Each structure stands twice: as structure tokens, then as C-alpha cells.
Structure 1
């Protein structure tokens, strides 16, 4: 593993993937593997269903009119996410100024056509293994990671991570470096909301893999928040439409709406729990700190809170519609009783005459 820059693009393209079938499809043409962290003890980190990684080859790109070789890898997660990583190897003995300039140019570079081409390849190769996402919006995340096996700790990584050319304040530098983690003297990880710097003399990629898992969780929570937003809008339209019908057809519509609402709540609750449990750090304290910090920096809890709020709105709407249905049923029963009493009175009077 050389000093390099890793450019991530994560896409939600499916409801879920059958990774056994994914591995079979991709292994026909290219080498594949399952993710495995290298430095963890057994059971200290639990990955429910490790993603399938496939090597896509190399591509030549120009950054600020300078040719760089990119090595492309894709990872397919059972949650429905495809992660594309372009690793750009850095020239040996690259200076700090050159690295800073590269970070600035990468921030403005348009590499989306390259990623789009690779994503189309993955989609075509896996056509038979997934159902496309129900939300039409293109949900994706991008992230940049600077990876070093040789790093001078006296260098200031903040201008590189923020891709910022102007002089930064001490407060900005302090706030950014607050999310720095080191296990020993030969490693370092600095994490921001859209970039990270990882230094590891031994060449371990465990930290990048943990960050990628956190990004996958963020993407999925964003996706299901979008699903619920669409369902809420649809729910309000259906309720308003049902209000224009007469009594009995309106109740029939309400029953249909409540059934759909409970299906949505059950599905989203199940999926979000699966997302949050896709990786569990149980015994490794250092990795737990890094992973927890990444989730906090990426603000996954804010998206989870948004999902829970929307689920709460749906549940309250369900209760309201259910109450109206029950009240209508009770009223119907009362009218039926009144009619039966009237019928009994009428039959009794007829017998008298």
C-alpha cells in the first residue's frame, strides 16, 4: 500500500443485495473478496454480512493537467449500497505544498463520468441480483481520504482536509484536530465530515474500512428518511382524497391507508435496525472510539432522529384513522341496534292487529 488519495462515491441503487449471488456474478470476470479487518481479535468487531469487494482495474486521470493512475475497487453491501473507490497513488516524496495543491484541485475536479461508467458496469453485472430502489432521487455520498505510510506529524493536515487555500484561524484548526485518534506512535487518523487523513506505517486499511461502513450507514439513513418523506406526502394526499368520498367508501379508503402505513413503519424500522447493526464494535476500545466519532461527525444520529420523528407522525396518523374507523363501526352498530328495536316494535304492533 502506497501513499495515496482515496476518492469514495457511495450509491444507494437497491433495496438489498443477495451477496452470495453478487459474489458469484462478479467472480466470473474479476477477482473478488469479502471484507476482513486485519488488526482485530476474533469477535471484537462483528460484521453481520461483510461486503463483496471486486477490483475493477486502473484508469488514467488528469488532475490540474497532471496525469495520475487510479486503481478502482467496488464494494457491494447487502443494504443495497455500492461503494466505488478510486485510489490515486501519490508521487514519492511529494512535498506538503504539492499535496495541498492536489487537495485543492481534487475538490474542483470533475471525475463523475469515470465513476458513472463504473457504476453502470456494476449495475449491468448485477441486474439479476437486486430490486432497484423505490425512491427515484439519486442518493449518493462522496468522501476523500488521504492515506499515508509515511507522514511527518509536524505537518498541519487541516488545510489539506478542508481543501482550503486561505489562512485558517486557530479555532478552526483546533476544532478540526479535535477529532484526531492515535493508538501508537506509528499511526494517526483525523476525521472531518467529508474527508479524513489516515497514517499507518504498517499499511493497515482497517480505519478506512470503518469510515466506509459509517458512510454506508449515513447514506442508508438519508435514503430511508427520503422514503418516509415521500410516504408522508402520499399519505396526506390519500387522506385528503378520501375525505371527498361518502361515509362507507371513505372508511374503506381509511382502512387501506392504515394497512399501508403499518407496512411502511414495520419495513423501515426493520431496515434501520439492520443498518445500525451492520457493524458492531464490541471489545476493541480504540476502534469503537474511531467508529463512534465518525458516526457523530457524519451526523447519523440527526438523520435517525428525523426518521423516528416521521415514524411517530405516521403512527399518530394511524391511530387517528383507526379511531375514526372504530367510532364509525360503533355508530354503525348503534344504528343497527336501533333499527332492530324498531323492527321488533313494528312486528309486535303488527301482531296486535
Structure 2
């Protein structure tokens, strides 16, 4: 399963997505099959749609690649390419495929074409549509049968050469098994999932974690840009006259407040989009995926920038108050002088 996740809009109306797609496609909502509904909380499960089959040639072998689209309300569109592996395929062939997928650029246009098609179809459901260029990619090697003599490390690392004991240990550090016929190994941009039942619960959890990472990366970058714009705007305001500076400060403050409210609301939605509560095994896998992807670091970076912007807002608010006080004092002094002038002028008459 080869994944590409794209940030395409500020928000996507999933009810509108279902209305549009249901006219020609069969859609479904993400639902984990091997877990009780009360054990997991989806705020708004993504909509899945079958995008058809396209032949893809890799390692001199042509695969009937099956494409699926997933649409998240957070503004993320996921394109999944499933490459069915022949039952007689050898381990070396899978390893070569792993290396080819890691290094090949020929499949990117295929993903982008699928993305373009689905964006055109769903254009009326995309709120504040803008393809930011932020993309996440990862690969899952999924097996219903697993040969224990096979080495998962070269598959996960897309590495043809032998690796050190330290690298091997680090790669296999995040391994999980619930029973005798399942195995999950998670790394930064790949995972190996063996599940004899054919359940795709774990790939779905890993996909969800990557969608959260994508959005946190995007909003962290957005805040960086907005902070630079804020500093430039404040510097420009300092060059203006007192009265014009007051209006400029007010404009900056309004923009900062809107930004803080928007980003805070969106980051809360990202954080609350999925909660694994009672299922300890799935909670460990999901939590480990978030830890490997360092989503906490991105969230902390966003919070730091929001704090800086809030402090800047407070500073501008204080300056605004001080400047208004100065203007008021000047107006009072002017009125007093005017009254004195008129009094003296009246006496002279």
C-alpha cells in the first residue's frame, strides 16, 4: 500500500463529498472492523471512494494497481495505490520492489493525476481550496501470510546492503503483536503489517496519524509566514504618523486575533479527530505512530508561535491604549489652551 497525503483546503465538507460521489461511485466511511465502536472515537470519519484500476510497471513487472481516495474534513486528500503481490512472489522480488518504490519518481505523476481528478470532482465541497504543496508519503507492506525466514528490515528501509546491529535494533524497536498470527513494525515512513484475517484497521490508524502530521506541519509553516508578515507590518507602522499608526495597529491586531482563533480551532480539531480509548493494543500502535512522527513536537511548535503572536497582540494593544491616552491628553491640553486663549481674547475686547 503506497500512500500520498495532500493538503488541499482549509476544510472539506464530507456530507457534500458523499452527495457528489454517490452519484457515480460507491463510498464508505472509515470504520475499524476489529474493535468495539465505543473503544474508538472518530470525530468525523473520512470518506473512502474507489478510484479504479491502473496498470503500473515497477521492477520490470506490471501490476494492476488499485487506487482508493480518502477525503478528510481537515482538508486532506489521501491517494492509496495498492499493488497486489502474486502468491508465488519471492522475498528478493519484494525487497527490490521496496527499493524501486523508494527511489522511483515515475509513480508521482500517477498520484498527481488522481489527485487532480478528485479535486475537480469535489471542487464545491472544498472550503478555501488551495493546494499548499505539503505532502506526506509512506508505504505499508501488508501480508496475510508471513514467512518467518524473511527479514523485514530491508523492506522497511528499502536497503539492499546489510545494515549494522544498531540500525536493525532501532528499526525493529517498535514491533507489536497481539496474537500468534499478526505482526506490526512501524518506522518513520514505512510499516510492515501481517494480519491473517485481512483486517486493514492498523493501516487505517497509521494513515490517520500521517494525516494529523501533515496538517500540523502545514499550520506550523503558516504561522511562521504570518509571524514574518507581522514583524514587517509592525516595522512599517513605526514609520507612520501617530494617527495613521493607530489605525495600522488596529488592522494588525484584528488580523492576529483572527489568525489565533482560526489556528487554535483547527489544531483542536486535529487533536480531537481520533481518540482510541479502551483498546490498549490499538492505542499503543496509534500512540507509537504519533510519537515516531513527532506530532507532539509540531504541536508544541505551533503553541509556541501562538504564544508569541498573543504576546505581540498584547504589546500592540498596550501601545494602542497608550497612544490613545496621549492623543486624549493632547486634546485636553488643546481645549484648555483654547479656553485660555478665548478668555484672554475676550478680556482684551
Normalization by structure 2: what TM-score? Answer: 0.96
2:95 to 92, 97, 100: 100
Could you say which residue in structure 1 is the equivalent of 2:40?
45
Shift of 1:96: 1.8
Could you say which residue in structure 1 is the equivalent of 2:252?
257
Poorly superposed stretches of 4+, deviation over 6 Å: none
Query: Helix, strand or coil for the counterpart of 1:89?
Result: coil
Query: Helix, strand or coil for the counterpart of 1:54?
Result: strand
Return 5+ residue gaps in structure 1 as ranges: 1-5
Matched, 1:125 2:121: yes
CA distance in 1, matches of 2:344, 2:128: 68
CA distance in 2, matches of 1:128, 1:351: 72
User: 1:83-140 CA deviation, whole Å, 9 max, x = no partner?
Assistant: 0000000111322222111111111222011111111110111111113445x64111
CA distance in 1, matches of 2:275, 2:322: 46
Matched, 1:320 2:315: yes
RMSD in angstroms over aligned alpha carbons?
1.5
Query: Helix, strand or coil for the counterpart of 1:43?
Result: helix
Could you say which residue in structure 2 is the equivalent of 1:3?
none
Instruction: Kindly indicate whether the alpha-carbon contact (under 8 Å) linking 1:12 and 1:133 is maintained by their aligned counterparts in 2.
Output: no
Instruction: Kindly indicate whether the alpha-carbon contact (under 8 Å) linking 1:100 and 1:160 is maintained by their aligned counterparts in 2.
Output: yes
Q: Spell out the pairing of 1:221-236 with structure 2 (5 A cutoff).
A: 221-236=216-231
CA distance in 2, matches of 1:249, 1:30: 56
Instruction: Kindly indicate whether the alpha-carbon contact (under 8 Å) linking 2:8 and 2:132 is maintained by their aligned counterparts in 1.
Output: no
Could you say which residue in structure 2 is the equivalent of 1:179?
174
CA distance in 2, matches of 1:247, 1:340: 19
Could you say which residue in structure 2 is the equivalent of 1:195?
190
Could you say which residue in structure 1 is the equivalent of 2:30?
35
What number of residue pairs does the alignment pair up?
347
Instruction: Kindly indicate whether the alpha-carbon contact (under 8 Å) linking 1:282 and 1:288 is maintained by their aligned counterparts in 2.
Output: yes
User: 1:130-180 CA deviation, whole Å, 9 max, x = no partner?
Assistant: 13445x641111110000010123432111100011111111111111111
Shift of 1:16: 0.7
Could you say which residue in structure 1 is the equivalent of 2:68?
73
Q: Spell out the pairing of 1:229-308 with structure 2 (5 A cutoff).
A: 229-308=224-303
Instruction: Kindly indicate whether the alpha-carbon contact (under 8 Å) linking 1:21 and 1:129 is maintained by their aligned counterparts in 2.
Output: yes
CA distance in 2, matches of 1:165, 1:293: 27
User: 1:17-38 CA deviation, whole Å, 9 max, x = no partner?
Assistant: 1111101111111111111110
CA distance in 2, matches of 1:171, 1:26: 48
CA distance in 2, matches of 1:281, 1:154: 33
CA distance in 2, matches of 1:302, 1:316: 21
Shift of 1:281: 0.7
CA distance in 1, matches of 2:26, 2:37: 26
Query: Helix, strand or coil for the counterpart of 1:237?
Result: helix
Query: Helix, strand or coil for the counterpart of 1:138?
Result: coil
CA distance in 2, matches of 1:158, 1:308: 36
Query: Helix, strand or coil for the counterpart of 2:235?
Result: helix
Could you say which residue in structure 1 is the equivalent of 2:214?
219
CA distance in 1, matches of 2:235, 2:343: 46
Matched, 1:115 2:111: yes
User: 1:23-70 CA deviation, whole Å, 9 max, x = no partner?
Assistant: 111111111111111011121100011111000111111102211111
User: 1:287-318 CA deviation, whole Å, 9 max, x = no partner?
Assistant: 11100100010111121122112112211211
